[in-house]
Every structure is written in C-alpha cells, then in structure tokens.
Structure 1
Amino acid sequence: MQLYVVFLGTGASWPTVRRNVTSVAIKRGSEVILFDCGEGTQRQIQKSKLSYMQISKIFISHFHGDHFLGLPGLIQTMQLNDRKEPLYIYGPKGIKKIVETAVTLGYFRPSYPIYAIELKSGDKVEGDGYSVSTMRVEHTVPTLAYALEENTRPGRFNKAKALELGVPEGPLFRKLQNGESIKLKDGRIIEPSMVLGPPRPGRRIVFSGDTRPCESLVNFSKYADLLIHDATFLSDLEDTAMEYGHSTALQAAEIAKKANVKQLALFHISPRYA
C-alpha cells in the first residue's frame, strides 16, 4: 500500500506568505490522517492533491492556536460537502471542550458524527492496518507526540516465481500479495509463502509536536522511517528555544541521529526565518 506524507504547514505561531502554520497529512491508501490543524489548513488541503473528505482522524498535539484553529472551518466545510462518515478527533485532555466549542459556533451544527477522544501518554489508537501511539513531550503546555506505525507487511512478491508456478497475472497476484492462498484451475493450492519473501516491518512515522529536545523522544523515535521534529529556531537562539519549549534545527538533528531514524523533516519554523 502506498503511503504519502504531505506537509500542509511547517511554520510556527502565525501564517506567513511562504509558510502556513502546522499541519501534516499522511495519506495511506484512500485514508488521510491529519496531525495538527492550524488555521488555513483546509486551504492548504485544497492546494494539494488530497481530499478533506478522506480525512478519517485528526490528531492534535496541544492547544496553542497555531495547531488547532483550523478545526472549525474544516469541520464546517466537510458539512457543506455532505459528509456522512464519522470524524474522529484526538488530543490531550481538553480536546472534547475544544471540539464542542468548534461545532457550536454561530448557527452551524454538523449533521455527521464527530467523536472527540482525549488521550494520555502511552495510549494507542488502532486503525485499519496501523496504529497511532502517544508520548508526552516537553513543551510549556501538555503536548503529545504521535507515532503512526503500520502492522507487519507481507514480504516482497516474487513475480517470476509466481509465473513459474503457473499463476496467471491479474487478480490472483493481488490475492497472494495480500497473504491469501489461491487455487489454480488444475487444483493446485498456491500458498503466499511460496511467492513472498520474509515479512517486512511496517513503516513508522513520528510527529514530535512542539518540544524541547528530550531523551524520551529519542526512544520513542528509534529506527523510525521519518521523524518530523520541532525546529523553531537556529542555534544562536538556543536559550530562547529552551525558554519557550522548542528545539533548534541542530538539536532536532541530534535527536534524529541518536534515534537512528532514516529521514528527518524539520517543521514549526519561526516566522523570523520565513
């Protein structure tokens, strides 16, 4: 299954001409999972190739405005486009009140189900073929980091071996790739293990939220395929970063190196640089 990470906003505090405030979308198959939803997020979604109607879950890291003020508009836009599917919104303690306020502003009332679920450090949300786990990080207000991790995936498909065994190209290939046994016209049963390599670990993506550099995040991010980490300031403002519960770009790189992640993406960049 294809997986895309789309950076809808990488700025901090307020939008600038070059950067919107925080929001990251993960598109997995036909499902979109959103991490943070700063103001203007729905416009960024429209500028991307994503559909806001495919958003199933929204995870809010904390309740500074640049991370959640896009919720009311996005919720209403889904309503105006006749959404029927439920929307799940997760966050630290207080998310229920935030969502209740968002859906009672003005005369608007959503007609589709919206569920607000409060999470604490160590909780895990199960999805279709993946899970999202949480960890408290070091910011000035209660903040959660999130890790999306796929379930173990089937091994790589050996097309040449399948053809050698007499499996015709087409739907039977897909069944084997999905871990299903098939029966050929001559009665032979082909097991997935006959054409698949060893199982592969699922991909893991970590979203730090706003945070000072912390060792607990190193452990939480170990061997991740992608770490998306706060990098609000450059190193000359390290003291300012510490005071306001943020990291410098260099500190983010040091965390990524310690965690041995495959890729690092920097976000929450101060408007002074953008």
Structure 2
Amino acid sequence: MMPRMLTVTFLGTAGSLPTPNRSPSAVLINREGELILFDCGEGTQRQMMRAKTGMMNLDYIFITHLHADHILGIPGLLETMAFQGRREPVTIAGPVRTAEAVELFGRLCYYSRRLPVRALELEAGDIVRMDGYEVEAVRTAHSVPSLGYCLREDARPGRFRRDRAVDLGVPPGPLFGRLQRGDTVGVGGRIVRPEEVMGPARPGRKIVYTGDTRPVPEIEEASRGADLLIHDGSLDDGMADWALETMHSTAGEAALLAKRAEAKMLVITHISSRYSDEPGPLLGDARRHYPDALVAEDLMKIDVKLRDR
C-alpha cells in the first residue's frame, strides 16, 4: 500500500506586515488530495497558484482570529474558486464573530458568481470530524479572540501478522482481509479474532498550527508528540517584552514549548518584517532549545511521514 500523503505548504509566513519575500498568513495541508486551509491572508489564491497546490478540493478554511492579515484573502479565494467552476459549499470556521465576518464579506463584495459559503463558529475543545481525521480547536492567547488548531488522524490498524494467521489455520485469501478489517472468522471449528493476528495499533499523524499567540499550556498539551508544530515565533528573544505586550511569542519561547511537548518537528512562522531578509536571529534563538527548528519560508513544503509508534 502506498504511504498516505500529508503535505504542508506554507503559503504565507509574514507577520502583521507583508514584505517582498513573505505573504500574509496562510498554511495549506493536502491530505490525500483533500485540501484544508489554515488562515487566509490577502493574496492566498495567488500563492496557491504559485505553489501549484490546486484549490478545487478545498472544503474548509480554518481561521485563527479576525485580524486583517489572516482573513483578507477570503473574498479573492472564493471568487477564484467560483470562476474555476466550484459549486460545492465551502465552510469557513473560526472563533466568535466568524459568521459576522463571512456575512460582511458577502455584503461588501460584488461576487460575480455565487458560491455557497457556510460559517462555523468554534470554541476551544470543539472538534470538526472529517473522513479519517479530525480538527480540534485549541485555546490560544492573543489580543483578540483566537484559536489554534490540531489536525489529528485516526489511529491505524497494527501490522497483519501473516505467519501467526497461518499458524492458527487461516488460509491465505479473503479471510486475511476480513481479519485485517476487524472481523472475527471461523476456521476448522476454531474462532480466530483480529487481536490474535494484528500488531498494536499505530498512531495517525498530528499537526498543530497556533496562529498568533503567547505560548500557553493548551497549545503545549495539544502538541504533545506532534509530528509537526507550526508556532508563532514573530520576534527574537531580545524583544520578549514587546512579544508579551503584543501577545506574540519569541522564537525561543516557541522552541521551549516544542521541546517540553516533545514535538517531532518545529517550524516557526508569522515572521516580523524586521527579519524578513535575514531570519538568522530567530533561528539562533530557536535552535538553542530545539536544534532542528526551522523558520518557515513562503512556498516551503513539508511531507509529514507515517510512523509505526
């Protein structure tokens, strides 16, 4: 069986101000061809074109908060999708007042083609269930109502122990498939249960995206053992007071959280314009605590691999 694809594309990695090299916040996840967008700063649809990600299989846009640099790309993206023939509904999910923002976009913009849009307001702990995975809203701490998100795949069945099945008298063929699907089978007067021939369940993948936030316990808990943590790291550690005042995180704070959570990979994003051309100070601060930390760049892609445990 081919490994299941889970690719993260950083469409926009800028802080509050875009720069020539960084677009406003947007992160796209492609899971086996199904697209999920987190935040949608201005120009997101053009970034999707540049990254060749497609957009027609996008059903959900999860917004972390309603600051302009995280939402102003929504009307343009919807218009582009409609021009390309999209007719199925798109859901825009986010914190309190998301429905109001969606309604205002509809009133302000003369859309040339109507695309059904559903608003979904979430609170921390709410879960949106998908086919084979879920997205949970996580409490964050920013200057306006905000949420982070944890994408969590379902656990996978353990490996099929073929030799054990044969030892128990199960002949190769359809009964193997039934056992792998969780069915109990009868062979020669004996009952063989799936747990006798299947190894331990294997974890699905987990990706956490914080949006703009201070480092908070809820994000740390959601990130425990995450395959990928995408955390606000707007400022270097020398600007810790400003990070606290503006309700952002320093790169070092994000790295310490990732280290405590034992996240498998850390990427810091929402990069202040003061570091746009040279993010070295952020990388240095992060790697003092988390040696493999990365600073996100526009159009950077990461393939998140499956693991056995």
Q: Same fold (TM over 0.5)?
A: yes
Choose from 70, 85, 89 the match for 2:88. 85
Name the CA distance, whole Å, in 2 between partners of 1:264 and 1:17. 24
Does the 8 Å CA contact 1:136/1:142 hold for their aligned counterparts?
Answer: no
CA RMSD of superposed structures (Å): 2.7
Matched with 1:187 is: none
Could you tell me whether the CA contact under 8 Å between 1:32 and 1:54 is conserved in 2? yes
Q: 1:249 is matched with which residue: 245, 248, 251?
A: 251
Map 1:1-274; keep pairs closer than 5 Å.
Answer: 1-108=4-111, 110-156=113-159, 179=181, 197-274=199-276
Using the size of structure 1 for normalisation, the TM-score is 0.87
Q: Residue deviations 1:181-227, cap 9 Å, x none?
A: 7x9xxxxxx99778754221211111111111222221121111111
TM-superposed deviation, 1:162? 10
Tell me by how many angstroms 1:244 deviates.
0.1
Larger displacement relative to structure 2 (139-148 or 214-223): 214-223
| Deviation string, structure 1 residues 24-72 (Cα, Å, up to 9, x no partner) | 1111112000000011111111111311111110100001111111001
Amino acid at match of 2:210: S
**Counterparts of 2:216 and 2:198 in 1: how far apart (Å)?**
40
Q: Which has the higher contact order (CA 8 A, sep 6+)?
A: 2
Range with greater deviation from structure 2 (195-204 or 63-72): 195-204
- Kindly tell me: are residues 236 and 48 of structure 1, through their superposed partners in 2, closer, same or farther at Cα, counting changes over 3 Å? same
How big is the shift at 1:161? Answer: 9.0
Q: Is the 8 A contact 2:59 2:90 kept in 1?
A: yes
Asked if the contact 2:180/2:198 (under 8 Å) is kept, the reply is: no
Paired-residue identity, %: 46
CA shift, 1:118, in A, is 0.5
Q: C-alpha distance in 2, partners of 1:77/1:191?
A: 52
Size of the aligned set, in residue pairs, is 266
Contact 1:147 1:204 in 2 (8 A): yes
Does structure 2 retain, via aligned residues, the 8 Å contact 1:62–1:142? yes
SS of residue paired to 1:140: coil
Change (3 A) 1:176 1:267: farther
Instruction: Tell me how far apart the structure 2 counterparts of residues 77 and 221 of structure 1 sit (CA, whole Å).
Output: 34
1:218–1:106 distance in 2 versus 1, CA, 3 Å: closer
**Any conservation in 2 of the 1:23–1:34 contact (CA below 8 Å)?**
yes
TM-superposed deviation, 1:105: 2.9
**CA contact under 8 A between 2:75 and 2:109: conserved in structure 1?**
no
Q: 1:156 to 1:267 in 2, by over 3 A?
A: farther
Larger CA deviation: 41-50 vs 241-250: 41-50
Residues 139 and 245, structure 1, Cα contact 8 Å, conserved in 2: yes
| Aligned-pair CA distance for 1:238 | 0.7
Superimposed CA distance per residue, residues 2-23 of structure 1 (whole angstroms, 9 cap, x where no aligned partner): 2111111111112211111111
Question: CA offset at residue 261 of structure 1?
Answer: 0.8
Cα distance between partner residues in 2 of 1:162 and 1:27: 36
Shift of residue 180 of structure 1?
Answer: 7.2
What letter is aligned with 1:126? R
Change (3 A) 1:106 1:58: closer
Pick which of 8-17 and 194-203 moved more.
194-203
Classify 1:110/1:125 alpha carbon distance in 2 versus 1 (closer, same or farther; 3 Å). farther
Cα deviation code 1:84-105 (max 9, x no counterpart): 2211110011111111122233
Deviation at 1:135, TM superposition (A): 1.8
Please give the alpha-carbon distance, in whole angstroms, between the structure 1 residues aligned to 2:38 and 2:83: 22
Q: Relative to structure 1, is the Cα distance of residues 180 and 214 closer, same or farther in structure 2, using a 3 angstrom cutoff?
A: closer
Contact map agreement 1:35 1:61 (CA 8 A) in 2:
yes
Instruction: Indicate the SS of the match to 2:78.
Output: helix
Of residues 248-257 and 130-139 in structure 1, the stretch that sits farther from structure 2 once superposed is: 130-139
